[in-house]
Structure 1
């Protein structure tokens, strides 16, 4: 495969070496992402769809990516944070945050989008 500067992607190849795919729009830190995006807006917060705490699992560029953050009203952000810190019937005695550990990025993203819909952010 070859380098595509428009997509900022590396393929796997080059004598069997593997390269991490870094999608265009991914940043190494939340601070860098916020500098690029600017403020979330009056009374709003930037919300990670797949949580910031998953940087170790998925990498900073995937977590701090323009497709993984959304500006939402601060009160909704606080309610969602409370939900992730709560124990629910489906979490087997764990917090929602703990229950999500080990799930795929895709699962966590779909779950996060569903939560945004349920809490009225979408």
Structure 2
């Protein structure tokens, strides 16, 4: 019997995302002002929301990761997804599944550290 390794799916998803980021970078470099403008606005909004997190909040890093995931999902599927009543539950489920995997959980911990460091581009 073959077992299903959930990391395989995550690896494929990450490779797909990296490919899309590369394509987006090429589009931006080739002069796609509209895409660059949308990305800049999304990054600015994320930075503003991260800065609003209370530095004394013990859950600050996890909240920062949730904000990042929310931002990336909205960027990928369009901002209308944020208005979907099921979005919050889906976001929590994705976050929980990612935290449950040891390797991905460690990567998310590092991401949280970076997001709250104030060193975003």
TM-score (norm 1): 0.26
Asked which structure has the greater RCO (Cα within 8 Å, sep 6+), the reply is 2
Q: 1 or 2, which has the higher helix percentage? A: 2
